[in-house]
A and B are shown apart, each in its own frame.
Chain A
Amino acid sequence: MSDVFPTSPAPYTKDDFVSDQEVRWCPGCGDYAILAVAQRTLAKFEIPRERHVFISGIGCSSRFPYYMNTYGFHTIHGRAPTIASGLRCVNPDLSIWIITGDGDGLSIGGNHLVHCIRRNINVNILLVNNQIYGLTKGQYSPTSAIGKVTKSTPSGSIDYPINALCIAIASEATFIARTLDTDPKHMGYVFERAMAHKGVSFIEIYQNCVIFNDKTFAPITSRETREDRMIYLEDNKPLVFGKKQEKAIRLNGLEPEVVDYQSDMDHSKLLIHNEKSDSPHYAYLLSQMMHPEMPVPFGVFRAIEKPTYDDMMDGQIQDAVQAKGTGDLTKLIYGSSTWKVDA
Chain B
Amino acid sequence: MSLTGLTKDAKMSKVKQEIDAITVRFAGDSGDGMQLAGDQFTDTTAIMGNDFSTLPDFPAEIRAPVGTLPGVSSFQIQFSNSVIFTPGDDADVLVAMNPAALKVNLINVRKGGLVIVNSSSFTEMGLKKANWQVNPLEDATLKDFKVLKVPLSELTKNALKEHPLKMTEVERCKNFFALGMMFWLYDRSLEHTITWINKKFSKRQEMAAANISAVKAGYNYADITETLPTQFVITKSKLDPGTYRKIMGNEAAAIGLITAARLAKKTLFYGSYPITPASDILHYLATQKHFGVKTFQAEDEIAAIGSIIGAAFGGHLGVTGTSGPGMCLKAEALNLAIMAELPLILIDVQRGGPSTGMPTKTEQGDLLQAIYGRNGESPVAVVAPKTPADCFDMAIEAVRIAFKYMTPVIYLSEGYLSSSSEPWKLPDISKLPDLTVKHPVADPLKKFLPYERDAETLARPWATPGTPGLEHRIGGLSKADLTGNVSYDPENNQRMIDLRAEKIRRIALDIPDLEVRGPKSGKILVLGWGGTYGALYQSIDELCAEGLAVAHAHLSYLNPFPKNLGHVLRQYEKVIVPELNMGQLIVLLRYQYPEVKFVGINKVKGHPFKILELKSKIKEYL
A contact residues vs B (CB 8 Å cutoff): 19, 21, 48-51, 53, 55, 65-66, 68-76, 79, 81-91, 93-94, 111-112, 114-115, 313, 316-317, 319-321, 323-327, 329-330, 332-335, 337-343
Contact B292 A338 (CB under 8 A): no
Contact B307 A89 (CB under 8 A): yes
B455 within 8 A of A: no
Contact B486 A66 (CB under 8 A): yes
Query: What are 6 A-B interface contacts by the 8 Å CB criterion?
Result: A49-B471, A76-B476, A91-B464, A321-B289, A332-B288, A333-B427
B contact residues vs A (CB 8 Å cutoff): 43, 46-47, 49, 239-247, 255, 258-259, 262, 267, 269, 271, 288-294, 296, 298-300, 302-316, 318, 332-333, 336, 340, 426-427, 429, 464-477, 485-486
- For the complex of A and B, the 8 pairs showing the least CB-CB separation, nearest first, are A82-B306, A86-B310, A74-B475, A327-B291, A86-B307, A320-B289, A87-B310, A72-B473
Given contacts A69-B471, A324-B290, are A51 and B465 in contact (CB under 8 A)? yes
A317 contacts which chain B residues (CB < 8 A)?
Answer: 289-290, 292-294
Alpha-carbon distance A20/B241, docked complex (angstroms): 62
Alpha-carbon distance A323/B299, docked complex (angstroms): 29
A329 contacts which chain B residues (CB < 8 A)?
Answer: 258-259, 262, 429
Contact A89 B269 (CB under 8 A): yes
Given contacts A90-B311, A332-B258, A333-B427, are A71 and B473 in contact (CB under 8 A)? yes
Chain A residue at smallest Cβ distance from B473: A72
Given contacts A19-B473, A72-B473, are A82 and B298 in contact (CB under 8 A)? yes
A72 contacts which chain B residues (CB < 8 A)?
Answer: 472-475
B164 CB to nearest chain A CB (Å):
30
Alpha-carbon distance A335/B247, docked complex (angstroms): 9
Alpha-carbon distance A334/B255, docked complex (angstroms): 10
Given contacts A111-B300, A333-B429, are A75 and B336 in contact (CB under 8 A)? yes
Given contacts A66-B486, A74-B476, A111-B299, are A87 and B289 in contact (CB under 8 A)? no
A82 contacts which chain B residues (CB < 8 A)?
Answer: 298, 302-307, 309-310, 333
Contact A71 B471 (CB under 8 A): yes
Chain A residue at smallest Cβ distance from B236: A341
A112 contacts which chain B residues (CB < 8 A)?
Answer: 299, 302-303, 306
Contact A321 B290 (CB under 8 A): yes
Given contacts A86-B318, A89-B296, A333-B429, are A21 and B310 in contact (CB under 8 A)? no
Contact B465 A75 (CB under 8 A): no
Find the residue from B242, B289, B300, B332 having the highest chain A CB count within 10 A: B289
Alpha-carbon distance A124/B216, docked complex (angstroms): 63
Contact B467 A73 (CB under 8 A): no
Additional A-B contacts beyond A75-B476, A83-B313 (5; CB < 8 A): A86-B313, A90-B316, A94-B314, A339-B245, A341-B242
Find the residue from B46, B244, B292, B306 having the highest chain A CB count within 10 A: B306
B241 CB to nearest chain A CB (Å):
4
Contact B46 A339 (CB under 8 A): yes
Alpha-carbon distance A50/B475, docked complex (angstroms): 18
Given contacts A94-B466, A316-B289, A326-B290, are A338 and B333 in contact (CB under 8 A)? no
Given contacts A49-B471, A72-B472, A87-B311, are A320 and B427 in contact (CB under 8 A)? no
Chain A residue at smallest Cβ distance from B342: A73
A115 contacts which chain B residues (CB < 8 A)?
Answer: 298-299, 303
Contact B267 A90 (CB under 8 A): yes
Given contacts A19-B473, A83-B313, are A334 and B426 in contact (CB under 8 A)? yes
Chain B residue at smallest Cβ distance from A335: B245
The SS class assigned to the B binding surface is: mixed
Find the residue from A73, A81, A94, A115 having the highest chain B CB count within 10 A: A73
Q: Which of B289, B309, B310, B469 contacts A88 (CB 8 A)?
A: B310
Contact A86 B427 (CB under 8 A): no
Alpha-carbon distance A338/B464, docked complex (angstroms): 41
Q: Which of B242, B244, B246, B313 contacts A87 (CB 8 A)?
A: B313
Alpha-carbon distance A11/B476, docked complex (angstroms): 33
Alpha-carbon distance A293/B305, docked complex (angstroms): 44
Q: Which of B244, B288, B289, B292 contacts A339 (CB 8 A)?
A: B244
Find the residue from A70, A84, A320 having the highest chain B CB count within 10 A: A320
Alpha-carbon distance A30/B473, docked complex (angstroms): 22
A75 CB to nearest chain B CB (Å):
6
B249 CB to nearest chain A CB (Å):
15
A321 contacts which chain B residues (CB < 8 A)?
Answer: 289-290, 292
B544 CB to nearest chain A CB (Å):
25
Chain B residue at smallest Cβ distance from A322: B290
Q: Which of A50, A326, A338, A341 contacts B465 (CB 8 A)?
A: A50
Find the residue from A81, A82, A88, A337 having the highest chain B CB count within 10 A: A82
Alpha-carbon distance A50/B466, docked complex (angstroms): 5
B311 contacts which chain A residues (CB < 8 A)?
Answer: 86-87, 89-90
Alpha-carbon distance A338/B312, docked complex (angstroms): 35
B309 contacts which chain A residues (CB < 8 A)?
Answer: 75, 82-83, 86
Contact B267 A87 (CB under 8 A): no
Contact A50 B468 (CB under 8 A): yes
Alpha-carbon distance A86/B314, docked complex (angstroms): 8
A76 contacts which chain B residues (CB < 8 A)?
Answer: 332-333, 336, 476
Find the residue from A68, A86, A337 having the highest chain B CB count within 10 A: A86
Contact B426 A94 (CB under 8 A): no
B307 contacts which chain A residues (CB < 8 A)?
Answer: 82-83, 85-86, 89
Contact B468 A48 (CB under 8 A): yes
Chain B residue at smallest Cβ distance from A50: B468
Contact B475 A73 (CB under 8 A): yes
A35 CB to nearest chain B CB (Å):
14
Chain B residue at smallest Cβ distance from A87: B310
Alpha-carbon distance A66/B312, docked complex (angstroms): 20
Chain B residue at smallest Cβ distance from A72: B473
Alpha-carbon distance A73/B484, docked complex (angstroms): 11
Alpha-carbon distance A53/B472, docked complex (angstroms): 10
Chain B residue at smallest Cβ distance from A310: B294
B246 contacts which chain A residues (CB < 8 A)?
Answer: 337
Q: Which of B291, B303, B427, B465 contacts A53 (CB 8 A)?
A: B465
